[in-house]
Structure 1
Amino acid sequence: MKAAALKGLCGGVVTSVSIAVGYIPIGFSFGVAAIQAGVPADMAVLISLVVYAGASQFVLISLITSGAGLLTAIPTVLLMNARHALYGPAVVAAASGGSGRLASPWLAFGLTDEVLATAISRMSSVPQDQRDHWLLGLQAGAFVAWVGGTVLGVVFVRVVDLWPAAVREGLGFVLPALFLSLLMETGLRRWHVPIVAAAGTALLSGSFMASHHALALSIVVGALGHALATRGPR
């Protein structure tokens, strides 16, 4: 491997640490939830290896264990993750610079929400000849952390009940905390318009509609606010 490629790969792995810190406990939670739902240990790890889709994995085991069947569970998970089809085009071209050093599938599989956010915020500081390998390292570090967390959850599921209640309940806040830390890294001033728009919408709509509906509306309003704020003159 050339020096630039190796440097980029190592740099991506180092950058992935901030994501891995959040992925390990979330993967741990999934491993615990899967075993408690009656999913075999090897199947729980296989789901993390193949699906690798965060919240969708929790939905998947809930559907399967409730008797929904694969014909219902698989389309549901695919629809939940349809947004990922937009991630590759947004990142791969900037990472490879059109040189085609790494095939697109290698750079597309690991594009989770957190990896995409980190890549967009950090890519410009990575030398052009290192970007594709840097992105690969970023994805590899996050993927290993997620699968490793699942393995830990499967192995130590029996001791979770012995933990203090505050620690067990805190596992549910790990994902929002991870998104907040990534937002802090990219800079609040840069994203102040969508943040204010989304937060204001959530506070107002949350008082008269279900929380999941308020969340979806806030996402749409925040995205529209950013689009309007960054639209250039006609």
Structure 2
Amino acid sequence: MTNLLEVSAIETFYGPSQALFGVDLTVGEGQVVALMGRNGMGKTTTIASICGLEKYRRGSIHFRGQDLWTLPSHKIARLGVGLVPEGRRCFPNLTVYENLIAAARSGDWTLDRVADLFPRLKERYSQYANTLSGGEQQMLAVGRALMTNPELLILDEATEGLAPVIRQEIWQAVRNLKATGQSILIVDKTLAELLPIADQCVILEKGTTVWAGTPDQMTRDIENRYLGV
């Protein structure tokens, strides 16, 4: 399997404060990789480093073999990295339709295909994003990222704070994306939903990769040690 994304020993700082102390992970083509760890262990900072939103000082990140160190975030996005950020961050004063086409690029993902994945978005094309429910805004954020036709889709806490019924709709969408061969890097705390769809798991502890393996290799001891409350 060809690696789409390779993150090696990255170290990232916020000013003088170091947040990442050596994160390693890979995402192969067509893989779903779960990035896991307790709150504050560096998951969102890792994603920000991959997307060029925070500059790592040491280590390397390669996407399809290209070094991302010198690239700004918008050029990383154009390479094929689509981000659904924590907190959704839809454009509140744009309609659903305008949000979806704002950064659209040509490819397999079109308005019709997004509407097939999330039918309720089509019903709300003319509504402003700030009038949608939290779950609908999350669907919009995923749809907006897919409209960029990414090779790698990154989901940061895509189901956090959503009602159970809406969470299940988002998880079903992720399963559908996996079935199409979409490469996905996903952060989520819901192990019962996450582990069945993940091909690989990477656990962070205090800004460092401390464990990597398949869901079948994750023992109860590993869960308790690194993911338990």
Measured against the shorter chain, the TM-score band is: under 0.3
Under a length normalisation based on structure 1, what TM-score does the superposition of the two structures give? 0.26
Under a length normalisation based on structure 2, what TM-score does the superposition of the two structures give? 0.27
> Which of the pair is proportionally richer in helix?
1
